[in-house]
Chains A and B, each alone.
Chain A
Amino acid sequence: MRSFAHINARTIDEAIALLRRYRGRAVLNAGGTDLLSTLKGEYLSRYPEVVINLKTIPDLDYIREDDGLLRIGALARLSDIVRSPLIISNCRVLADAARSVASPQIRNAATIGGNLCQDVRCWYYRYPRHIGGAIQCARKGSGPCLAVKGDNRYHAIMNGKRCFAVCPSDTAVALAVLDACIHVSGPEGDRTIAVTDFFGPLTNALRSNEIVREIEVPKVSGLSGQTFLKFTVREPIDFAIVSVASVITREEGVCTDVRIALGAVAPGPVRAGKAEEMLKGNRIDEEIAARAAEQALAGARPLSKNAYKIEIARTLVKRAILK
């Protein structure tokens, strides 16, 4: 890795002040599992001069219950989320999603804030500088998205715009289905963003010098069935081809609350609103599950090599409903 200056931040405000002082020349480091490969590959247009360590901010790794809500500090590690009794008993789908991430070693280091803010896995975007030079693309601010004409087998099948890379975060899919929101802090104060609004085609909703501070998750009724399904090429250390999270509450066989989200199909997690409406108030059987799965993928517009993802997504949605 090329050298950089390293600063340990003591508070969130100090980290924001440092980001302001270095004006785009500083990057934030939490678990480091994504940032370090970014720095080693040197594929971004600008190599950072400063790395700001957030792990030295005390008490930002909490997982606590507060008035019907779960509050998760941005520095909570994925391994803590997997094991947390509070999360397992109130929103198990998040624990399942966190368990599906990478490997035990990475889960010991990776944080929930970092998992949400990690950069995309597009192979054109992440093409390393030392093998013939980094590749320019729409996401880096110049030229077209190379996946459109190139090999796009792992790219978006819906909502892509200028950049067709998908959101690689598994926890984002679970948080979308849990109606969670993200609290961010910045120079202009704090604000709250719904998880589904956090992701966009070219970048996330963070404005310059903003930092994710906390994830707020409404508790889910203990009676509801929660499912997280992830299709990958290999089981550990792999990003999803498609993932699906669902929270389904049934009373006497009739669906009273249905929430379904799809991951790795678009620049962010996608809620299947029409499929949810279709299931609400009905008894769930094979036939309605198949129709809802069809509906969930109705908006898909695949690129040249990724239509196969539609079929996988349909199957996962159907399985999640019937589970």
Chain B
Amino acid sequence: MVVRTQKYTRKRARETDRISLTVNGQVCTMEVGTAPHQIDPAHTLAYTLRETLGLTGTKVSCDHGACGSCTILIDGKAALSCMTLTVECEGKRITTIEGLGDPGTGALDPLQQAFVDHTAFQCGFCTPGMIMSAKALLGENPSPTEEEVKEGLSGNFCRCISHYHVVKAVLAASCKGR
């Protein structure tokens, strides 16, 4: 049993108050506590990604699990980073929009390229979430039908109504599109 409070952080050996998660292939070990450089138990994964790790590609819009902007992958499955506590991600494999392209060559993921080719965005704020949801969908179902794409992206909202282009882009990036 690990009790994480400010009191305990000071008293206990540092090892017990660390959390380790893999973000885009890189292992991140962070201290848990309430000091400014530490992960507060109340920090959401979205907050940690953006404010602690500087991965601002993940966007936060509603912060209540209703819009899908903050979608990331946890162990390959689409998840809302604003509704996930960082301290509960011990040992998890996190993928954000920054983790999709090839860091060596700078080449985009085929799904990202399909979004570019189909201009599947207007203001672009919802796009990272859209792409991560689509990534999870294609991971589970490499050749979805149009209906399945719509269902898979039903948790992502776009106020610019880019949905039609998004569906086309995802279909193009799926096996069927190739």
Residues of the B chain whose Cβ atoms lie less than 8 Å from the Cβ of A1: 42-44
Q: How many residues of A are counted as interface, with CB atoms below 8 angstroms from the partner's CB atoms?
A: 32
Is B133 a contact of A104 with CB atoms below 8 Å?
yes
Name A10's closest neighbour in chain B (CB-CB): B1
Is A36 a contact of B65 with CB atoms below 8 Å?
yes
Select A103's contact among B8, B42, B68, B82, beta carbons within 8 Å. B68
Chain B interface residue number, banded = 35 or more
Select B83's contact among A4, A33, A79, beta carbons within 8 Å. A33
Select B88's contact among A3, A32, A37, beta carbons within 8 Å. A32
Stretch in B51-59, B99-107, B118-126, B151-159 with 4+ CB within 8 Å of A: B151-159
Q: Does A5 contact B (CB under 8 A)?
A: yes
Stretch in B20-28, B72-80, B108-116, B167-175 with 4+ CB within 8 Å of A: B72-80
CA distance A36 to B1 in the complex (A): 22
Is B79 a contact of A235 with CB atoms below 8 Å?
no
Classify the secondary structure of B's interface with A: mixed
Classify the secondary structure of A's interface with B: mixed
Residues of the A chain whose Cβ atoms lie less than 8 Å from the Cβ of B80: 33, 105-106, 109
CA distance A89 to B42 in the complex (A): 41
Select A32's contact among B4, B78, B84, B151, beta carbons within 8 Å. B84
Residues of the A chain whose Cβ atoms lie less than 8 Å from the Cβ of B44: 1, 36
Q: Does A237 contact B (CB under 8 A)?
A: yes
Best-surrounded residue of B8, B64, B65, B151 (most CB of chain A within 10 A): B65
Q: Does A6 contact B (CB under 8 A)?
A: yes
Given contacts A36-B83, A105-B155, contact A53 B88 (CB under 8 A): yes
Query: Interface digits, A207-238 against B, CB 8 Å rule (1 contact, 0 not)?
Result: 00000000000000000000000000001110
Given contacts A7-B1, A36-B44, A104-B151, 20 further A-B contacts (CB under 8 A): A3-B41, A3-B42, A6-B32, A8-B88, A14-B1, A32-B84, A32-B88, A36-B82, A36-B83, A36-B85, A40-B64, A53-B85, A104-B78, A105-B68, A105-B133, A106-B155, A109-B79, A109-B84, A235-B154, A237-B154
A residues whose Cβ falls under 8 Å from a Cβ of B? 1-10, 14, 29, 32-33, 36-37, 39-40, 51, 53, 55, 79, 102-106, 108-109, 235-237
